[in-house]
């Protein structure tokens, strides 16, 4: 048996759209720098002043909401899971189940490139656990552990 590490990347927005069901304004992953299959992902969210949430969060001091940073980490984890489990194009969805230990260290402002680093903590066929970190210029902005379920989309 081989211990070869399989890496993929970079993946552009077309590949991200193929892996995730999210679309504007909820798509929070712009590019994938690298995926180490069955292990980790490094992705990018380009934070633009044109994002709708900055109109009210906060006027005069725009800051990306922490819940959206965690959502961006979860979306990166979704790409990692789909690519690692060979589910791209299958229609399977990755649903949040739990968020633990979320901590926010520094504000994320317009103009930042938010680096999303996520690793598998546990991987099973239908439930995966992840550890994620969001960084700006190499500095920790947020971190969280979370669990997600891989399932069929709901019936219409």
Can you tell me the distance from the alpha carbon of 145 to that of 65, in angstroms, rounded to the nearest whole number? 17
Show Cβ contacts of residue 92 under 8 Å, excluding neighbours closer than 6 positions. Answer: 82, 150, 151, 152, 153
Query: How much of the chain is helix, strand and coil, in % rounded to 5?
Result: 20, 40, 40
| C-beta separation of 90 from 153 below 8 A | no
Residue tagged active-site, from 39, 57, 92, 105 = 57
Do the bridges between strand 113-123 and strand 31-36 make them parallel or antiparallel, or are there none, so unpaired? unpaired
- Is residue 22 part of the annotated active site? The answer reads no
Residues designated as active site: 57
């Amino acid at each position: 048996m081989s211990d070869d590490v399989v890496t993929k990347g970079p993946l552009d927005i077309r590949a991200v759209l193929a892996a995730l069901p999210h679309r504007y304004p909820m798509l929070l992953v712009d590019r994938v720098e690298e995926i180490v299959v069955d292990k980790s992902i490094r992705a990018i969210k380009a934070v633009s002043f044109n994002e709708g949430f900055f109109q009210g969060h906060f006027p005069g001091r725009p800051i990306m909401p922490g819940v959206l940073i965690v959502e961006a980490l979860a979306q990166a984890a979704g790409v990692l899971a789909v690519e690692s489990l060979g589910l791209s194009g299958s229609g399977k969805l990755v649903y949040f189940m739990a968020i633990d230990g979320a901590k926010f260290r520094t504000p994320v402002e317009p103009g930042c490139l938010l680096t999303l680093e996520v690793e598998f903590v546990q991987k099973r066929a239908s439930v995966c656990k992840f550890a994620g970190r969001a960084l700006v210029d190499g500095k920790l902005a947020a971190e969280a552990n979370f669990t997600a379920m891989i399932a069929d989309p709901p019936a219409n």
